[in-house]
Chains A and B, each alone.
Chain A
Amino acid sequence: MGRKYLALFRSAWMLSLEYRAEGVVWMMTNLMSIIMLVVWLSISHGGPVGGFSSGDFVAYYMVGLIVRQVTGVWASWGLSDDIREGALSPQLVRPIHPIHRHVAANWAEHVMRLTMLLPIVAVVLIITPDARLYLTPISIAAFMLSLLGAWLVSFLSDYAIGILSFWTSQATAFTQAMQGLKVVFSGILAPLQMFPAAMQGALNWLPFRYMLAFCNEILLGQTRDERLLFGLAVQWAWVLFFFILVRILWKLGARSYGAVGA
């Protein structure tokens, strides 16, 4: 399996390299979340807002850039196209599950863009005096773990939506819906602490927080100790949930594909 992944990653990397111009454009697209930072900075001009100082906002959105890059997923688009155009058939005839190609492509792209993004984020954090990160061995380890969990939740939920393409030609509408929900409820638009308390309570159980905000909070020192453990537990419960969902949906979908085919 490792050999297969190496080969898949290799060709995915070459594709990413081939289309690095495109990759840069995507990166710039994600950079737009900086706009939200601008809005918050103009609001927090006079003083801290919702517990966040201007420096805190900068730190939040900078870390958010990294996390947002890692949790960027698009497999459902490819899967939808493949199923619709019948290009899934050649993939099904090979002794490897089609999902692995998407995993490799996703990570190849992440690695490529992070090499450009990490320096920028580091520089901004350094030159902003007020932007402080909470760095301890535990917080760093927890951050890495939560980052992996965030990727898994994002990727698997996206893939599950893609699998719906076996039954509907417009699964990507749900992808876009998911994206919309992510923008608001995963903390891309605004830190979740800005939401009314009741809403925050609900968001602690939904998967969205665990796709971005949770990771940010760890590195900003806003979530520690028991709350940290609780968050990790919920996050990985969601990982398990989506993993099982993907397996079930795929079985059903392949069955349905085998009925009608393409």
Chain B
Amino acid sequence: MPFAFFISMAYQIEVTHLSKHYQVHEKEPGLMGSLRSFVARKYRAVKAVDDVSFNIGQGEMVGFLGPNGAGKTTTLKVLAGLLYPTSGKATVLGFTPNKRENAYLKQFTLVMGQKQQLMWDLPAQETFLVNQAIYEIPRAQYDATIKELDDLLELGPIMKKQVRKLSLGERMKCELAAALLHRPRVLFLDEPTIGLDVTMQARIREFIAEYNRRYGATVMLTSHYMADVTALCDRIIVIDKGRLFYDGNFRALIERVAPYKIIKLQLAQPTTAEALAQFGQVESCNGLTAVLHVPRATATESAARLLSQVKVEDVTFEEPPVEDIIREVFAGIGKDEARGARREARGAR
């Protein structure tokens, strides 16, 4: 037992002061701008990832959140060895990713929602067979894994159909299967559910959770869909403009950013907002319906008081919607930045 404890304490993914900068050339719009840039190019440095550090242990499922262009995909690509760092260090399973040693390549998988590895004109099964050879998977293990993936993902006959004839959801299932054939220990999933319908998204989510349960694989997931992250990840890392803004427990973040609960009331008789104000912050009050925000810490107490003094037909308690929370986080980031920018401007004067 202690030995296993020790093993799991060693981090699988270590990122230390990672930075990734690009030179991007700027161009003014229109024909004149094009001609000008044809003759003399102007370059601008873009900090896709800026001094990011975090550590991930075995079996963790970490959600990577951030707006478009925040640096999520870039970070994943560094960890997958596709990009090399401008500065800082990244190690996965003790390997330096961009050396792309075969021993490392066999231990992780990269799934990009918008790009595919399946051969377009052949059945998915053919890609599986090629992967078996490439990853040198012994026959017995291959058969067993196929069977498991088939069960978990309900692949069935779609394995034998040409990939270009499959629907988007079916294709994604096969992509995942192909990506996991070699039972990788680390999964980098970049927008795996993008473009899928709600049922399929849920199915994929269940699959990833089950895979993590069964094999203790470490999962790093980026997604636009909050549902992906809420369902799968206890820990989230928030990145914006290349910088890390939050790294920790999801629930804790909710507590910090949105330390309130929502009480929705169906009133027995009309009341005024002023009358309800004593119980909490009134978000809305129209005739027979009202919505209040009450501080989390005193939520039950406020609720009890409310119910004893106000006649209600129905009452519900809700968590704040996650999208709002994230928006708050970014708004908070925005405010911090604005404050910082103002400070700088003042200092410069």
Consider the complex of A and B and state whether they touch directly, i.e. have CB atoms less than 8 Å apart.
Answer: yes
Residues on A close to B: CB < 8 A? 3-4, 6-8, 10-11, 14-15, 18-19, 86-87, 89-96, 255, 257-261
Whether the pair A95, B119 counts as a contact (CB closer than 8 A) is no
Whether the pair A258, B98 counts as a contact (CB closer than 8 A) is yes
For the complex formed, measure the closest distance between the CB of A10 and the CB atoms of chain B, giving whole angstroms: 7
Whether the pair A10, B129 counts as a contact (CB closer than 8 A) is yes
- B122 touches which one: A15, A87, A96, A261 (CB < 8 A)? A15
Contacts of A90 in B (CB 8 A): 110, 112, 115-117
Whether the pair B84, A259 counts as a contact (CB closer than 8 A) is yes
> B80 in the interface, Cβ–Cβ < 8 Å?
yes
Minimal Cβ-Cβ distance residue in A for B106: A95
Contacts of B83 in A (CB 8 A): 258-259, 261
- Rounded to whole angstroms, the CA-CA distance of A259 and B45 in the bound complex is 13
Whether the pair A15, B121 counts as a contact (CB closer than 8 A) is yes
Whether the pair B80, A94 counts as a contact (CB closer than 8 A) is no
- Which of B80, B83, B102, B112 is the most central at the interface, judged by chain A CB atoms within 10 Å of its CB? B83
Minimal Cβ-Cβ distance residue in B for A92: B82
- Rounded to whole angstroms, the CA-CA distance of A89 and B117 in the bound complex is 9
Whether the pair B22, A260 counts as a contact (CB closer than 8 A) is yes
- Rounded to whole angstroms, the CA-CA distance of A34 and B305 in the bound complex is 97
> B31 in the interface, Cβ–Cβ < 8 Å?
no
Contacts of B112 in A (CB 8 A): 89-90
> B266 in the interface, Cβ–Cβ < 8 Å?
no
Write the B107-128 contact mask toward A (1 if CB under 8 angstroms, else 0).
Answer: 0111010011101011000110
> B275 in the interface, Cβ–Cβ < 8 Å?
no
For the complex formed, measure the closest distance between the CB of B187 and the CB atoms of chain A, giving whole angstroms: 12
For the complex formed, measure the closest distance between the CB of A215 and the CB atoms of chain B, giving whole angstroms: 32
Whether the pair B130, A18 counts as a contact (CB closer than 8 A) is no
- Rounded to whole angstroms, the CA-CA distance of A19 and B121 in the bound complex is 9
A-B contact count (CB 8 A): 77
> B165 in the interface, Cβ–Cβ < 8 Å?
no
Q: A15-B119, A93-B80 are in contact. List 12 more A-B contacts (CB 8 A).
A: A7-B132, A7-B134, A10-B130, A11-B119, A11-B126, A11-B127, A11-B129, A18-B122, A89-B82, A90-B115, A92-B81, A257-B82
For the complex formed, measure the closest distance between the CB of B26 and the CB atoms of chain A, giving whole angstroms: 16
> B77 in the interface, Cβ–Cβ < 8 Å?
yes
15 contacts between A and B (CB under 8 A): A7-B132, A11-B126, A11-B130, A14-B122, A15-B119, A18-B122, A87-B115, A90-B110, A90-B115, A92-B81, A93-B108, A257-B82, A259-B22, A260-B22, A261-B74
- Rounded to whole angstroms, the CA-CA distance of A11 and B136 in the bound complex is 16
For the complex formed, measure the closest distance between the CB of A7 and the CB atoms of chain B, giving whole angstroms: 3
Minimal Cβ-Cβ distance residue in A for B110: A93
- Rounded to whole angstroms, the CA-CA distance of A4 and B129 in the bound complex is 10
Contacts of A258 in B (CB 8 A): 82-84, 98
Whether the pair B77, A261 counts as a contact (CB closer than 8 A) is yes
For the complex formed, measure the closest distance between the CB of B171 and the CB atoms of chain A, giving whole angstroms: 14
- Rounded to whole angstroms, the CA-CA distance of A259 and B87 in the bound complex is 12
Whether the pair B121, A18 counts as a contact (CB closer than 8 A) is yes
> B41 in the interface, Cβ–Cβ < 8 Å?
no
- Rounded to whole angstroms, the CA-CA distance of A96 and B130 in the bound complex is 11
- Rounded to whole angstroms, the CA-CA distance of A86 and B114 in the bound complex is 10
> B133 in the interface, Cβ–Cβ < 8 Å?
yes
Minimal Cβ-Cβ distance residue in B for A2: B133
Contacts of B80 in A (CB 8 A): 93
Write the B69-98 contact mask toward A (1 if CB under 8 angstroms, else 0).
Answer: 000001001001111100000000000001
Whether the pair A93, B84 counts as a contact (CB closer than 8 A) is no
For the complex formed, measure the closest distance between the CB of B106 and the CB atoms of chain A, giving whole angstroms: 5
Contacts of B267 in A (CB 8 A): none
- Rounded to whole angstroms, the CA-CA distance of A83 and B228 in the bound complex is 30
Contacts of B116 in A (CB 8 A): 90
- Rounded to whole angstroms, the CA-CA distance of A6 and B133 in the bound complex is 8
- Rounded to whole angstroms, the CA-CA distance of A96 and B106 in the bound complex is 10
Contacts of B215 in A (CB 8 A): none
- Rounded to whole angstroms, the CA-CA distance of A261 and B71 in the bound complex is 13
- B130 touches which one: A8, A93, A261 (CB < 8 A)? A8
Whether the pair B115, A89 counts as a contact (CB closer than 8 A) is yes
Whether the pair B130, A95 counts as a contact (CB closer than 8 A) is no
- The residues in B between 151 and 188 inclusive whose CB is less than 8 angstroms from any CB of A are none
